[in-house]
Amino acid sequence: MTTLSETIDLQRQFVLPTYSPELVLARGAMSRVWDQTGREYLDFTSGISVCNLGHCHPRVTEAIQRQAATLVHVSNLFYNQLQPRLARVVSQLAFGGRVFFCNSGAEANEGIIKFARRWGGGSGRCRIVCMENSFHGRTLATLAATGRAKYRMGFQPDTPGFVHVPFNSIKAAEQALDSSTAAVLVEPILGEGGVIPANVEYLRQLRRLCDDRGILLLFDEVQCGMGRSGEMFAFQHYGVEPDGMTLAKALGNGFPIGAFVVREQWADIFEPGTHASTFGGNPLACAAGLAVFETFEQDNVLDHARRMSGLLRAGLDELGRRHTLIEEVRGVGMMLGIDLRTPVKPVLQGAAKAGLLILSAGENTLRLLPPLTVGETEVDDALSILDQVLSAAGAQTNGDGQS
């Protein structure tokens, strides 16, 4: 076992410094994680919407262990028994259609962008209309799709063929569509961009607009999908079906797996040899994915998540009424954002010190992504820690007259 300081020293010496972590986490069980010194935390980050069923969910762990002892990997030159079964579940729960499996959100988005370009190829449609403040990944094409210029700094030239329009503005989307547009790509709930749900009427009008102009409507559900919103997929709140959708993060509850789904009518756009991924849909990843969906069904995870979301939201609204530091509470299901009137960093640090891990989404927005399986007492505990930390931050702000 390495000690705490050995872990940090090794990381600083041998890992490229693209992240700036503060804690060394060593163990997890459902809504809780423990650091290397044995200190316990309530985890309201879920690995950024990955461990939606909680850490080391017994059913998923058991499925991974069983499959690891049976068949870990075969290439896609062969069938494996689990990939088509997982594809059937995803397809049936989504909007029908066909699935391609890969390993991450960026790879899923990269794949669906390729799909849209090939779909539009015959008619010269290749441009993708994306949203300002969106996030789609860190590969070159998904960076170009991402609506935040700061992530592209230093990586120019930008991959061509992407334009950005303000989120929730149908007029802006309409103006951006032209005869070279293949698709509109949108997160139904902006995650990294501040936990901002699309307006119902906006997504409905976007659907009509894409239908009228013969353009694909694609949803990135990498963060907001897999029950996070209280429905299995966020689009199901809107009564609007996309032509294609990407998934990753919670699809394997921590085991890396991504996917994109496209409507059945477009099933022949990709022929053998047009797209591939070595690990995509391997037996181990699919065993994890199947166990995730089985758990959703057998444990009524969505019902539970909706109930817990109601409690958490009511508690946050109540904090909002008492703490002047809070400007707005918003979000859907277990994807909640809290705008503060000050930068959130001291609140994040204060919460971690008090045993609660939470996230930010930009300078002034706190982001709460608890496991969907979180318990009532855990919700109460998190709210009381937030209450204390916001009081301390408020006193600080009033006391020194800054921030």
Ligand X SMILES: Cc1ncc(COP(=O)(O)O)c(C=O)c1O
Judged by the rule CB under 6 A, the positions of this chain that interact with ligand X are 48, 104-106, 109, 135-137, 187, 191-192, 220, 222-223, 248
Closest distance of CB 271 from ligand X, Å: 26
Q: Partners of 130 in the beta sheet?
A: 164
Cα 328 to Cα 61: distance, rounded to the nearest angstrom = 38
φ, ψ of residue 368 in degrees (nearest 5) = -110, 120
Closest distance of CB 358 from ligand X, Å: 16
- Could you tell me how many residues make up the chain? 403
Closest distance of CB 260 from ligand X, Å: 11
**Among candidate residues 284, 286, 295, 236, the one with its CA nearest the CA of residue 259:** 286
| CB atoms inside a 10 Å sphere around CB 117 | 18
Closest distance of CB 162 from ligand X, Å: 14
Cα 320 to Cα 336: distance, rounded to the nearest angstrom = 13
| β strands within 81-188, DSSP E | 98-102, 127-131, 162-165, 181-186
Give ∠ CA 85-260-295 in degrees, rounded to 5: 45
Residue closer to ligand X by CB (options 187, 231) is 187
Cα 259 to Cα 275: distance, rounded to the nearest angstrom = 13
Residue closer to ligand X by CB (options 257, 312) is 257
Residue closer to ligand X by CB (options 234, 325) is 234
187: CB partners within 8 A, 6+ apart: 131, 134, 135, 136, 193, 198, 219, 220, 221, 222, 223, 224
Residue closer to ligand X by CB (options 135, 202) is 135
Closest distance of CB 187 from ligand X, Å: 5
Closest distance of CB 223 from ligand X, Å: 4
Closest distance of CB 125 from ligand X, Å: 23
Residue closer to ligand X by CB (options 67, 104) is 104
Residue closer to ligand X by CB (options 245, 383) is 245
Residue closer to ligand X by CB (options 105, 315) is 105
Residue closer to ligand X by CB (options 259, 379) is 259
53: CB partners within 8 A, 6+ apart: 59, 60, 250, 253, 292, 295, 296, 301, 371, 372, 373
292: CB partners within 8 A, 6+ apart: 52, 53, 60, 226, 250, 251, 252, 253
Closest distance of CB 255 from ligand X, Å: 12
Closest distance of CB 105 from ligand X, Å: 2
| Residue nearest ligand X, Cβ-based | 105
- What would the two tokens of residue 166 be? 């303000």
Q: Partners of 330 in the beta sheet?
A: 337
Q: Partners of 244 in the beta sheet?
A: 218, 262
Residue closer to ligand X by CB (options 237, 323) is 237
